[in-house]
Amino acid sequence: MARRATRKNLSDGSAEITFDVGDIDEVVRWAMGYGDEAVVLSPPEAVLSAIKTLHQLQLAYGNVTPVTSRKPIINSAKSPKSTKAFNRVN
């Protein structure tokens, strides 16, 4: 999957993981496997891939409106092949 991954532990107990990948969709699917415990942060293409997948799931499940208090987080990456996933480990 990833050619290289780095993990940055954050002060709130969560972690930010950055992957160098050849296939952005593959790492997006991996991150989405964590449900609401992971958020795709960047690059914009990865965020868009996650949004498209969520839209397809919403259509498949009858356009259910999700209940969440978390606002989406979108950051820009320097490299288009670098994907960041935010994983809450609290």
The domain ranges of the chain are 2-87
Q: Six-digit token pair at 72?
A: 């989406």
Residue among 45, 52, 57, 36 nearest 81 (CA)? 45
Torsion, CA 32, CA 38, CA 43, CA 48, rounded to 10:
50
Query: What pLDDT, on the 0 to 100 scale, is given for residue 21?
Result: 83
A 10 A CB-CB count for 8 gives: 10
Residue of 76 and 33 predicted with greater confidence: 33
- pLDDT for position 78: 43
Q: What is the pLDDT of residues 14-73, one digit of tens each?
A: 888 888 888 888 889 989 998 888 899 888 999 999 999 988 888 887 766 655 655 554
